[in-house]
Amino acid sequence: MKVKRKAKRASQALHRLSPAKGRALLEQAAGELGMSATTFVRRFRQGQILNPDRPEVLRVVALLPFAG
C-alpha cells in the first residue's frame, strides 16, 4: 500500500534591499573578518584572501554586488 505524502514547502519570500542597506550588510559582514568592505573587495580581487572558500568569506562574497 502506497502512502501519498504532501510536500512541505518552506515559505519563499523575496526581500529587496536598498543599495544603502545592502552596503551596510556588506560592511557588517566584512567587519566580522576584521576589515572594511573596501579593503575586502580590494584584497579579494587581488587574490589576497586566505582560504576564500571559508563560509565567513563566502558570506561576504555573496554580498559583493552591493559594493557598487
Does the pLDDT value for residue 25 go beyond 80? yes
CA pair distance 66, 57, nearest whole angstrom: 15
Tell me: the pLDDT tens digits for 2-17? 666 655 555 677 778 8
Q: Which three cell numbers stand for residue 31?
A: 567587519
Looking at per-residue pLDDT, the higher value among 36 and 3 belongs to 36
CA pair distance 8, 64, nearest whole angstrom: 32
Longest dimension (CA), the chain: 61
Question: What is the model's pTM?
Answer: 0.73
Q: Which residues of 33-43 are buried (b: 16+ CB within 10 A; e: fewer)?
A: beeebeebbeb
